[in-house]
């Protein structure tokens, strides 16, 4: 299955550096080698980190025609400015771990093993080494 990850950010957040580090953890290859059924061809995630004054709301959409499940993972810009990279990675990883499984399981999609996707996603997130031990049981 295709797992697509990108970001729409304010440059001060430096979430683009986190995204690059996630690419280095080979998420594309990890998910490309897995099959969760024909119900979903792609999960697309946009890391959103913009000025809160814009009032942006997270988007979540499943297109039956293209079989793409797309979602925003909202990040708090003020909390990401001026912190160390390790802390930024931890914050982004925890937000992804909180939002992505919840959004994937929100839809009942025929011929898609969402539970197995969530299990594999959590395993991959743990493999980054960015999460605290207490979050590994979520």
Domain ranges of the chain: 2-137
Whether the predicted pLDDT of 76 surpasses 50: yes
Whether the predicted pLDDT of 33 surpasses 70: yes
φ, ψ for residue 18 (rounded to 5)? -65, -45
Q: Do residues 103 and 60 lie in contact, with contact meaning Cβ atoms separated by under 8 Å?
A: yes
Report CA-CA distances (Å) from 26 to 50, 108, 113, 122.
Answer: 26, 28, 22, 14
Average pLDDT estimate for 6-19: 95
Average pLDDT estimate for 118-137: 81
Burial of 19 (0-12, 13-18, 19+ CB in 10 A): middle
Q: pTM for the complete prediction?
A: 0.90
Q: What is the per-residue pLDDT for 135?
A: 44
Q: What is the per-residue pLDDT for 104?
A: 97
Q: What is the per-residue pLDDT for 131?
A: 86
pLDDT averaged over the chain?
A: 93
Whether the predicted pLDDT of 138 surpasses 70: no
Q: What is the per-residue pLDDT for 133?
A: 47
Whether the predicted pLDDT of 44 surpasses 80: yes
């Amino acid at each position: 299955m295709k797992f697509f990850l990108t970001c729409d950010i304010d440059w001060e957040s430096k979430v683009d550096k986190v995204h690059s580090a996630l690419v280095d953890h080979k998420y594309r290859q990890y998910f490309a080698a897995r099959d969760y059924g024909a119900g979903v061809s792609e999960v697309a995630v946009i890391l959103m980190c913009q000025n809160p004054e814009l009032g942006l709301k997270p988007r979540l959409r499943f297109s039956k025609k293209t079989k793409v499940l797309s979602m925003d993972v909202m990040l708090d810009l003020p909390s990401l400015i001026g912190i160390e990279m390790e802390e930024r990675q931890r914050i982004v990883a925890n937000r992804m771990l909180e939002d992505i499984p919840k959004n994937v399981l929100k839809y009942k999609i025929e011929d898609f093993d969402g539970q197995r996707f969530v299990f594999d996603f959590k395993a991959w997130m743990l493999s980054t080494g960015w999460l605290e031990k207490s979050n590994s049981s979520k």
